[in-house]
Amino acid sequence: MKLLKNVRLYTGEEYFERGAVAFDDGGIVYAGAQSALTDGLRADVIDGRGGLCMPPMVNAHTHAAMVLLRGVASDENLNDWLDKVVPIEEMYTPQMIHDGTMLAIAQMIRTGTSAFADMYYHMHSVIDAVLETGIRANITRGSSSREGVDSHVSWFKDHDGAANGNLRVYMGIHAEYTSDEDIVSYAADTAASLGTGIHVHVSESAYEVAGCVERHGCSPVEYFDRLGVFDLPTIAAHCVHLTGSDIALLGSKHVNIAHCPLSNLKLGNGIAPVRDLMGSGAAIAVGTDGASSNNSLDMFRETKAMSLLAKGSLNDPKAMSAEESLRCASLNGYRALGFGNAGLIKAGMDADMIVLDSASFNMFPGVDPAADAVYSATGEDVILNIVNGKVLYAFGEFKTLDIDKVRKEAYATARELGIV
């Protein structure tokens, strides 16, 4: 048994000025007022140093190893950005993917992320990095061929549910414009036969939507729905350019939208209609996209951007509250990735939690914990990250990775790719 005490506790539903969380390998045993605990509780004590304990962040859409491309092709539109990035990506080896993913995981752990949905290449290398570090992940390959779809089958059979439930495997379709109807239908059928979900880019740019209408006579949302994608648990990344009927359709199928506000802004793709999607019945999660189009994996930045964009675009300060924002960035993200028993700090849930430094200028004087977390904090304020009961980062020290080794190997890979 472990006991995290001396924290201000925001469970995702309630706030305790002086709280504590007791947990073991089976999950959270107690979460609430520290005063309600018995003095005889036998546990290894973790002193939270008066920090704010809260549910962790979940990155619902990224391409982790693209952290190696941070700063490459800045200030370009999506098509020109792809023209510069893809040739470098085609040089990636499995070891390069591992090195880049380890660097990305280090930043995510350091900045309060407990789980991420990754769509990239050489995913066996990503699996190795996830199992090595103890973070949660939902992995998928951005497939554009039957071979790409088939590669998921062995990953699913060998690794879905591995590491005490920390790893999930979804089927991946890159996008409408990189696949055809046969591949999409095949992916949906394969996912259904495995009993898993699908992760796909949808309506990221106006150019993408116009091309789909020209090719198929319908929007990407209608296209994927027609081929059965949304009949399965789906992570639909971006969903920026949508019609009213698209929004209604996504809501009726309860699709998980991975909203990536900063990447969409940086590439000039626009602002997703998040409030309308929420009203339709779709679930909003939050992602960073890859670090080349963001350029950060700090989910606190992303969550603030989501909230402020909703307020500013609708001229309504109540359009996205701090509490709603945190729910999207944590609980909704867990559910989108297939981790249904995390995202709240309460008895019976998995023991995932982070602590922010209350002594940070960003967190002082500490009037409203949710508002502080969304509008003021950054990932650099995180002092503790616990995933599934395991401490991954504590008070300046990584517990499951050698950060100097990770940086050295990632830099060597970037040099080999000619990036630096």
Q: How far is CA 105 from the centre of its chain?
A: 11
Query: What pLDDT shows up at residue 338?
Result: 98
- The pLDDT, as a whole number, for residue 107 is 98
Residues 282 and 328 in one domain: yes
Q: Are residues 209 and 141 in the same domain?
A: yes
The Cα-based distances of 362 to 42, 290, 365, 369 in angstroms read 35, 26, 9, 11
Domain end marker among 337, 356, 383 = 337
**29 shares its domain with 106:** no
Is 150 found in the same domain as 101?
yes
Domain total for the chain?
A: 2
Domain membership flag for residue 101: yes
Residue 408 located in a structural domain: no
Residue 105 is assigned to a structural domain of this protein: yes
Write down the pLDDT at residue 40.
67
Do 152 and 13 fall within a single domain? no
Determine contact, residues 207/79, Cβ cutoff 8 Å. Answer: yes
100 shares its domain with 196: yes
- Residues 124 and 128: their CA atoms lie apart, in Å, by 6
Domain presence at residue 403? no
Tens of pLDDT, residue by residue over 287-311, are 999 999 999 999 999 999 999 999 9
Q: Do 78 and 116 share a domain, yes or no?
A: yes
Q: Are 100 and 221 in a shared domain?
A: yes
Q: Are 169 and 138 in contact (CB under 8 A)?
A: yes
Say whether both 31 and 63 belong to one domain.
no
166: Cβ–Cβ under 8 A, 6 or more apart, which residues? Answer: 130, 131, 134, 135, 136, 137, 387, 388
Structural domain includes residue 415:
no
- Domain-embedded: residue 414: no
Task: Quote the pLDDT of residue 288.
Answer: 98
Q: What is the CATH number of the domain that holds 373?
A: 2.30.40.10
The boundaries of the domain holding residue 35 are: 2-55+344-398
Residues 162 and 259 in one domain: yes
Domain CATH number, residue 329? 3.20.20.140
Residue 137 included in any domain: yes
Indicate the burial class of 35 (C-beta count within 10 angstroms; 0-12, 13-18, 19 or more): exposed
In a domain, 411, yes or no: no
> What stretches in the chain show pLDDT beneath 70?
38-40
Domain co-membership, 25 together with 81: no
pLDDT at 51: 98
Res 82: pLDDT: 87
- 178 shares a domain with 127: yes
